[in-house]
Structure 1
């Protein structure tokens, strides 16, 4: 790896600017899910234990360069103190006199929380002057916000140009997991990609067929690939204008020696609702007035065999309409198989994406996966093979 971690930095007595993602859900001024705060705790505790002074930089919502009271990070102080177990001192700005006063008065064992970086229009424009103002508040820059690493903002990319820089524990874990899954994985590698539309995951599919040995395609995306092969999909969600693109991906995979697994049997219904009357049919027998809502048991068996033969798994997206029963069956079964293989040490499994995390949690499989990414867009862009500005900045930093 070309980026430094906290272990490479001398932290004692140093002001450490830590870019975090604490863009958490709230209701009536209270945090309703503290998962993102919990994920940054190891970084903050390690800095405090080493005698450093953590100064948190973060965005919240989309204030578009304006001060919006509801998007103030001050609302997060109680949740931060509860989770981190240390006093948090809030500054009414992320630069200037208000921030400087809080940083200067920060005592050992305290944490500074600076106001929403996006209250400044220069944040999303990666304004060099704003990054320089932020840099004046610290001695070291630590990026622990992988989920924001695909954005070239002042606090995610610009800051690394001005201070000795490193990855925080969460960033380190994300990068290490993704490197193990796509950079230098143990083979064979299988990827599971589901979701509604091929058009939103073209770059992802194009990159994966070059990197993995087996690619499982599920969800509405699979219907588009089936249609590309001349198989009727009834009233199913499918992008019929993308069938030529799907055919190109199939051809590319064949040329590269990547096996693509599509459903061989399907679960169909005539209504998209929980417990709708349904039947399991061969993949080429979908009635014209029915929709495909899940892969069938024979398809799941093929996926399970592919997982058992693999050493590495990357998972993004469900295999069917997992939100409603019984059309969550394929996703649940495959996820539990992957979880069992991971728990036994036979498989390195990395998963990410909003629907993915929800589906794996629903299946009771998430805790056994090797790594679950909390990042959305950044996780996808990494899988697409794109350079992430926040990561590149750490690699290029002093």
Structure 2
């Protein structure tokens, strides 16, 4: 990993630390709907405070394209973070005088207004990076979920100051490296969700380490179609059929496809669950979940695994009737986690589903696209800029 953790920083007392955090949270009006990304930064903030550092937080919300958009202000974020920390968080505009920002940070926590209000952020502006660097003596990256972006606050700023990784970022990297490089074998991937386009590079990269790839959802539908099967009205990604055929050929016996599925007949208005073999589907059938035999097969691989990565639901879980496979296999993975097996779950829908059903695993990744990029072996500019090197 070759990263310096903030634990390794010396003489923090009296120094101003710029901490890049993930503030890209869902809002409804002025209310934060999900504060889980903000909570990730709390251990690092408290560590710095215990060691007498002054803190200036940097974050973004949405895509204002270099313009001030009031609805994307970080003021609701500052208020919510303040409630979590039980202390006020002052939100200051980027146009505030440096002396004002520095003085306020000595009184309490400061959060700079949406960094994307400045067009220099997305342009990786050296000018913006220099102006930010003048505010502090140390930089900390606590925004893994944005570390696949080459922006001023993620790439240029850390090159101008002594730079460290935050505690949550270190945990994220360690957990994902267990999947990609270090974890005990057999390693099993459970891959679902609607889109296959962002999952294919991950499967391709991890394939040499994987003992099995268990697929469901739109990913499985597309691969079944690529294999030449008729799948009726099921959700597929037609643009990925060609690449799906290549994966089927390359993965060989490691790729485990459904043998039976639950379907809904779309020619009727009622939800009608029927169990069918994958080679017996009609044109009016829509795959909504994995079948019982497929679940039994997948369960055997999960029981043998020592390391599991799960990304994406295995059925249309937004409808309660179609949650059986994700819930049953999720319970199995959860039961084995934290003792016999190291289990990582990623992706907003999947993490939300596991939380909703009180399923506990070793690590929940909030990395989103950054997590997929990391596992696919793609460039991570925000990590490289603070000294990260992938294990060989």
User: For the superposition of Structure 1 and Structure 2, which TM-score range results when normalised by the shorter chain?
Assistant: over 0.9
Cα 1:272/1:198, change in 2 over 3 Å? farther
The equivalences for 1:335-350 within 5 A come to: 335-343=330-338, 345-350=339-344
Deviation track 1:297-317 (CA, whole Å, cap 9, x = no partner) reads 111111111011011011111
**Given the alignment of the two structures, is residue 104 of structure 1 paired with residue 103 of structure 2, yes or no?**
yes
Aligned equivalents of 1:319, 1:379: Cα separation in 2: 19
Deviations 1:37-66 (A, max 9, x none): 222111100000011111100111211111
Partner residue of 1:262?
257
Could you say what secondary structure the match of 1:238 adopts?
A: coil
Residues 344 and 364 of structure 2 are in contact (CA less than 8 Å); yes or no, is this contact kept in structure 1? yes
Match of 1:289 among 257, 267, 284: 284
**How far did residue 105 of structure 1 move?**
4.1
Out of 301, 315, 332, the position equivalent to 1:320 is: 315
Match of residue 355 from structure 1: 349
- CA positional deviation for 1:387: 2.0
Q: Classify 1:259/1:60 alpha carbon distance in 2 versus 1 (closer, same or farther; 3 Å).
A: same
Alignment check: 8 A CA contact 2:129 2:153 kept: yes
Equivalent position to 2:125, from 119, 124, 127: 127
8 Å Cα contact 2:198/2:372 also seen in 1 = no
Number of residues of Structure 1 aligned to a counterpart in Structure 2: 388
Separation in 2 of the partners of 1:275 and 1:333? 25
Contact 2:267 2:284 in 1 (8 A): no
What CA distance in whole angstroms lies between the structure 2 residues aligned with 1:274 and 1:315? 33
Deviates more, 1:372-381 or 1:243-252: 243-252
- Aligned-partner Cα distance in 2 for 1:69–1:99: 22
Cα distance in 1, alignment partners of residues 72 and 278 from structure 2: 49
Partner SS state of residue 60, structure 1 = coil
User: Residue in 1 aligned with 2:156?
Assistant: 158
Rounded Cα–Cα distance in structure 2 between residues aligned with 1:324 and 1:394 = 43
The aligned residue for residue 27 of structure 1 is: 28
Report the CA distance shift for 1:269/1:66 in structure 2 as closer, same or farther (over 3 A).
same
Distance in 2 (alpha carbons) for counterparts of 1:89 and 1:123? 21
- Structure 2 unmatched runs, 5+: none
Alignment partner for residue 201 of structure 1, among 180, 199, 202? 199
Quick one: distance in 2 between partners of 1:392 and 1:241? Answer: 32
Contact 2:263–2:276, Cα closer than 8 Å, also in 1: yes
* TM-score of the two chains, using structure 2 as the length reference: 0.94
